[in-house]
Structure 1
Amino acid sequence: MQAYPAPAQRLVEEMREAARADRARAIAFQGAPGAYSHQAVLRVAPQGLPLPCFSFEDAIQAVIDGEVAEAVIPVENSLHGRVADVHFLLPESGLAIVGETHVKVEHCLLGISGATASGLSEVISHPQALGQCRRRLRALGLRPVAYADTAAAAAEIMARRDPALGAIASALAAELYGCDILMTNLEDAEHNRTRFLVLARSPRQERPDGRAKTTLAFEVKNIPAALFKALGGFATNGVNLTRLESHLSGGSFTAAQFLIDIEGTPDEPGVARALEELAFHSKWVRLLGTYRAEPPEEDHGRAAPSA
């Protein structure tokens, strides 16, 4: 799939025109209108102008090129783990993380008008959504088929008009494309939430209100106990790590890079000392942003569509 289905393309063009007319309010997201990333944009900036982009790279590039003020990108899900590719796109982008938000993911089983859940044979959606509903899909006897994103899947079934083909997407996507909602709360667990980061060209100058969080990337030296030593300063200085993930880089099985989230800001004495120790035991350290930490348990219900 290299383009949006026709029902989505019409909305995409309308939203692109609005974003071009007011770039200061434009916010990029990956996916078709109605995607969960679309909902995240509406949470971050209810008066913003969401700009759909086909890929994460496209959304990030739109910020770099000045087409939009910010981008909202998913990074991890409470059921299915980290979002693929984002772990290396963030450090490479050169953008600053200026905020975060969480969206409660409530998947719906969608069909065309007149379709029934018992009449479906296969269902299309983003691999993340399929993974979050895998037990329910197995119980229903539905064959999962990977698709570019959830909302585009909703648009696709409306374009194909096949009563045996369903989609997993949001109620917002069903509303935008005219799908029938055959089942609600299809996800395997109620606590299904996705965390999103807000990216901008420059950090915000003001200190975050309330509890602050800092995200950084680093690569450890290829010596014994390098990671233990690099992270030791956070423990000795009482700095809490809320996230740690690793990935290999440079075509080597020995060069490990890490992304971490910590509580606090770099100008706090304890954090500053911990960062000094991290730098001493690492090849390089890159601060990606400091921002207000948003509790994931806050109510993140469906926002009204803006397109």
Structure 2
Amino acid sequence: MSGTADKPRIAYQGEPGANSHMACDLAFPDMVALPCATFEDAFAAVAGRGIVPGQHVRRADQAERAMIPIENSANGRVADVHRLMPLAKLNIVGEFFMPIHHQLLAPKGATLGTIRTVQSHVQALGQCRGKIRELGLRAVIGEDTAGSAAEVARAGDVTRAALASTLAAEIYGLEVLARDVEDTPDNTTRFVVLSRDSSWAPRSGGPTVTSFVFRVRNIPAALYKALGGFATNGINMTKLESYQLDGAFTATQFYADVEGHPEDAALARALDELGYFCEELAILGVYRAHPFRSRQSAAPRT
């Protein structure tokens, strides 16, 4: 029997109709999108095992890939993703940039005059502060955008609205009261594609991104010295973020993205120098840069 059961699956966090669901359909139209309640569940679906205590993964809930939002141009990084990647021991095999457009959705019969609250994921609420203030709505934090749309649809209350996608409006039968209500027109989310496969993109064939996590040794100016090799070797570091490990202020891990391939001589030297000052260094992935990066670099600055 043919059909979706024969197709590879790609996991995402959220309900059907979430922005991550749309990203899966756009980037991997030949794969079946698998909704997962939490980021832990999405990571575990690909890892094939639980990544937090007490978690179990049935074969029916497993997937070959995961589409995970890692940062948004308007609202910064997505909480928990950086922490979960090393725990899951998955590899970044690609990236995808998607413009994010939020729609103000409500049950049939509702109008801009009847709604009093708006529910969505905290990231979406933060990206639409202007419209929320303009309409005088009370923001209600939901687990995700599509899940909020589903809740509002089930309630059928004309005083309640949700911020979600056009796909969510179609799935849950909601009216679009206002379109594209995000504060900035260039609101974009970067997703990473995760896999159990640890293979790197070939050195030739186009621009490459290398992502890694590291923890520096406890010596004076260790971070400054560790990063010096990237400057002296002319490596462009496009992302550097820190986060605490296990809630301890003394244990800081760093996540970084750099342009280039570890087999390039300059990046190899920089990584060698970094490793000398590190207690831990792990490459999370070497993958093709999404075309959005070159388009963004070519855009005129204002």
Task: Tell me if TM exceeds 0.5.
Answer: yes
- Conservation of the 8 A alpha-carbon contact between 2:213 and 2:282: yes
Question: Residues 225 and 130 from structure 1, CA distance in 2 versus in 1: closer, same or farther, beyond 3 angstroms?
Answer: same
Are residues 1:146 and 2:141 paired?
A: yes
Are residues 1:263 and 2:242 paired?
A: no
**Structure 2 counterparts to residues 1-307 of structure 1, below 5 A:** 21-22=5-6, 25-65=8-48, 67-204=62-199, 206-207=201-202, 209-296=205-292
Structure 1 runs (4+) deviating above 2 angstroms are: 203-206, 295-299
Q: Which moved more, 1:71-80 or 1:201-210?
A: 201-210
How far residue 152 of structure 1 moved from its aligned partner, in angstroms, is: 0.9
SS in 2 for 1:256: strand
SS in 2 for 1:113: coil
Amino acid at match of 2:163: I
> How many aligned positions are there?
280
The structure with higher relative contact order (CA 8 Å, sep 6+) is 1
* Alpha-carbon separation, structure 1, partners of 2:198 and 2:118: 41
Question: Deviation digits for residues 166-211 of structure 1, max 9, x if unmatched?
Answer: 0000111101111100001111111100000000001235516311
Question: Residues 76 and 297 from structure 1, CA distance in 2 versus in 1: closer, same or farther, beyond 3 angstroms?
Answer: same
**Structure 1: runs of 5 or more not aligned:** 1-17, 300-307
- Conservation of the 8 A alpha-carbon contact between 1:76 and 1:82: yes
- The equivalent residue for 2:55 is none
Question: Residues 177 and 224 from structure 1, CA distance in 2 versus in 1: closer, same or farther, beyond 3 angstroms?
Answer: same
How far residue 250 of structure 1 moved from its aligned partner, in angstroms, is: 3.7
Question: Residues 189 and 297 from structure 1, CA distance in 2 versus in 1: closer, same or farther, beyond 3 angstroms?
Answer: farther
- Conservation of the 8 A alpha-carbon contact between 2:114 and 2:159: yes
SS in 1 for 2:69: strand
Question: Residues 113 and 251 from structure 1, CA distance in 2 versus in 1: closer, same or farther, beyond 3 angstroms?
Answer: closer
SS in 1 for 2:219: coil
How far residue 43 of structure 1 moved from its aligned partner, in angstroms, is: 2.1
* Alpha-carbon separation, structure 2, partners of 1:116 and 1:298: 41
Amino acid at match of 1:221: R
**Structure 2: runs of 5 or more not aligned:** 49-58, 296-302
Question: Deviation digits for residues 129-152 of structure 1, max 9, x if unmatched?
Answer: 000011210111000000010011
* Alpha-carbon separation, structure 2, partners of 1:251 and 1:149: 25
Question: Deviation digits for residues 147-166 of structure 1, max 9, x if unmatched?
Answer: 01001111111100000000
Question: Deviation digits for residues 56-94 of structure 1, max 9, x if unmatched?
Answer: 000010001172110010000000000011111112210
Q: Between the two proteins, what is the percent identity of the paired residues?
A: 49
What is the CA RMSD across the aligned residues, in angstroms?
Answer: 1.6
Amino acid at match of 1:285: L
SS in 2 for 1:296: helix
- The equivalent residue for 1:304 is none
* Alpha-carbon separation, structure 2, partners of 1:25 and 1:252: 39
Question: Deviation digits for residues 7-49 of structure 1, max 9, x if unmatched?
Answer: xxxxxxxxxxx76x23x61000000011000011112211110
Question: Deviation digits for residues 227-268 of structure 1, max 9, x if unmatched?
Answer: 111111111111110000001114421221100000011111
Amino acid at match of 2:282: R
- The equivalent residue for 2:53 is none
- The equivalent residue for 1:3 is none
* Alpha-carbon separation, structure 1, partners of 2:79 and 2:201: 31
* Alpha-carbon separation, structure 1, partners of 2:88 and 2:160: 38
- The equivalent residue for 1:13 is none
* Alpha-carbon separation, structure 1, partners of 2:159 and 2:9: 38
How far residue 111 of structure 1 moved from its aligned partner, in angstroms, is: 0.5
- Conservation of the 8 A alpha-carbon contact between 1:134 and 1:188: yes
SS in 1 for 2:262: coil
SS in 2 for 1:115: coil
SS in 2 for 1:255: strand
- Conservation of the 8 A alpha-carbon contact between 1:39 and 1:103: no
